[in-house]
Amino acid sequence: MPISKPRRAIIQDFLKEKQIHASEWHCCDTTFTSITEIAIHVNQHHQADIDTRETKKREEKQEKENNLYLLKQRRGKKGSSDPIATECQCQLEDSKVILFYRYALVEDPVKFALDHQSYCANMTGKVRIAGEGINATLAGSNQDMDAYLNWLTTTQPFQDDALNDLRQPINLRLDEPSTARYKFFKPSQGCTHVFSELSIKLVDEICPLGQTTVVLDKLQKPDHGHGKLSPSDFHAILSKRHQDDFILLDTRNYYESKIGHFEGAIQPPIRKFSQFPDYVERNKDAMRGKTILTYCTGGIRCEKATAFMRQALPDEEIFMLDGGIHNYMEWWKHKDIESEDPVWQGKNYVFDARQSLGLQEDSIVSQCQMCQQPWDKYKKCGSAGCHLLVLCCDACCASDQPVYCCDDCRHGQQNGLCACERERRHREMQQLQV
């Protein structure tokens, strides 16, 4: 009976363990001088050992497949979506929320994800892990957060000399913005209730652009890093926007940019990041000959957006705001300049129950879609299967009554796409005007 390939590999490993020289093997107090002799010996006296090893290998393989299946399952029930409001009585000074990403080779994504399940067991949030890196936003107690960061910064994906400062085991504090950990992990005030659960998933991309040409090697090239602007440099350029000829492009989704954006930004009406390349391709002619500045929430989308745009528009200068809106807002809070106004307007949308963060609570750039009064708090469309976000003020929408994004949803007549989504897709197909 022929030996299976996995069993043959196990036998070969067994023989290597017994080999003491190029042509000598030692087993059961006997020295063998040919591969044939040791092979016969193993076949006659060690079948039980080989069977045990084969069973263990098979169990390990099955366990890995089970883990892989669980780590790739969708996070919630089909048709569900994240909460956009929460009420709790937590002492916020006892906990925090972090937001970070890292594009780096992850040699064993499954193990990295399983380790996260252990180290993040008391936290809530979302962790996405792929061969290209990690993307995470987590909420937890100060103690759990510090223990997690002390572990994370020693793992393989963080073994880079440029990250030595991150490995200093200091506590992450909201009042110490100058530390390396603060700048990298972008902490903000919040508790575990801003997320409904802990979700750790294995994915193909930590930020799904859907472009196979935008790979890790390109994101790690020096010229890509040189295209990153500090918040102060970004602010200086935008402060002179009426003098200089450039395009400012928001790479986020339409519902994010609707409640907050940089002054003068073009806001593509896209619903998910994977639609961004099509938007660029349709509007390349309008972008040619321009310097292009991009921004997103924390920088992760701009990393891929600028890499893709450099392929689509190789002759143009393309830059991104390093660390995204979050870093700009942090820089503005702690800057020395007092005489200027921020070029950021409104709120920064965040993907948790806090919904948004702002420099000023009264800075509102969006309107209630019913009465057109200033408003920036979203509610979810009450139609089953439609999770579009609706800007509806408390005066127009009773708290105990469902809100609908359009009459199609109100009357249950979506037929696949409701009027709001059809309008968005129509706007998405329109050409950019600059």
pLDDT value of residue 339? 66
**Residues 16, 72: Cα–Cα separation, whole Å:** 36
Residue 80 pLDDT > 60: no
Residue 415 pLDDT > 70: no
**296 part of the active site:** yes
Q: How confident is the model at residue 124 (pLDDT cuts 50, 70, 90)?
A: very high
**Residues 279, 295: Cα–Cα separation, whole Å:** 16
| 100 closest CA partner among 122, 71, 126, 131 | 126
**Span 279-297, average pLDDT:** 94
Residue 412 pLDDT > 90: no
Question: Per residue in 130-159, pLDDT tens?
Answer: 999 999 999 999 999 999 999 999 999 999
pLDDT value of residue 10? 94
Per-residue tokens: 253 = 């989704």
CB-based burial of residue 336 (10 Å sphere; 0-12 exposed, 13-18 middle, 19+ buried)?
exposed
Q: In what order do the strands lie in the sheet with 228-229?
A: 228-229, 318-321, 291-295, 246-250
Q: How confident is the model at residue 387 (pLDDT cuts 50, 70, 90)?
A: confident
Q: Which of 226-230, 324-328, 427-431 has the lowest mean pLDDT?
A: 427-431
Strands (DSSP E) along 288-399, which ranges?
A: 291-295, 318-321, 344-349, 356-358, 378-380, 389-391
Residue 77 pLDDT > 70: no
Tokens 């998405």 correspond to 428
- CATH level 2 (architecture), domain 95-202: 2-Layer Sandwich (3.30)
Query: What integer best gives the mean pLDDT of the chain?
Result: 90
pTM for this entry = 0.82
The larger pLDDT score, comparing residue 73 to residue 254, is at 254
Strand partners, 25: 19, 32
**Span 251-261, average pLDDT:** 97
| 274 closest CA partner among 199, 214, 223, 317 | 214
Residue 76 pLDDT > 60: no
Residues of the chain with CATH 3.40.250.10: 216-366
Residue 79 pLDDT > 60: no
Question: Per residue in 28-45, pLDDT tens?
Answer: 999 999 999 999 999 999
**Residues 60, 42: Cα–Cα separation, whole Å:** 24
Q: Which entry of 207, 296, 302, 393 is annotated as an active-site residue?
A: 296
**Span 80-107, average pLDDT:** 87
| Superfamily (CATH) of domain 216-366 | Rhodanese-like domain (3.40.250.10)
Q: Which of 72-86, 106-120, 136-150 has the lowest mean pLDDT?
A: 72-86
Residues of the chain with CATH 3.30.70.100: 95-202
Strand partners, 411: none
Residue 22 pLDDT > 60: yes
Q: 375 φ, ψ to 5°?
A: -165, 140
Torsion angle (degrees, nearest 10) of CA 98, 101, 107, 109: 60
- Using alpha carbons only, give the angle 33, 38, 40 rounded to the nearest 5 degrees: 130
Question: What SS3 state is found at 287?
Answer: helix
Single-letter code of the amino acid located at 187: P
pLDDT value of residue 74? 59
Question: Per residue in 264-278, pLDDT tens?
Answer: 999 999 999 999 999
Residue 400 pLDDT > 80: no
197-234: string of b/e by CB count within 10 Å (b at 16+)?
A: ebbbbbbebbbebbbeebeeebbeeeebeebbbebeeb
What share of the chain has pLDDT > 90, as a percent? 72
Alpha carbon distances (Å) from 400 to 30, 50, 85, 393, 403: 83, 66, 14, 13, 10
Q: Is 384 left (phi over 0), alpha (psi -120 to 50) or beta?
A: beta
Q: 251 φ, ψ to 5°?
A: -95, 10
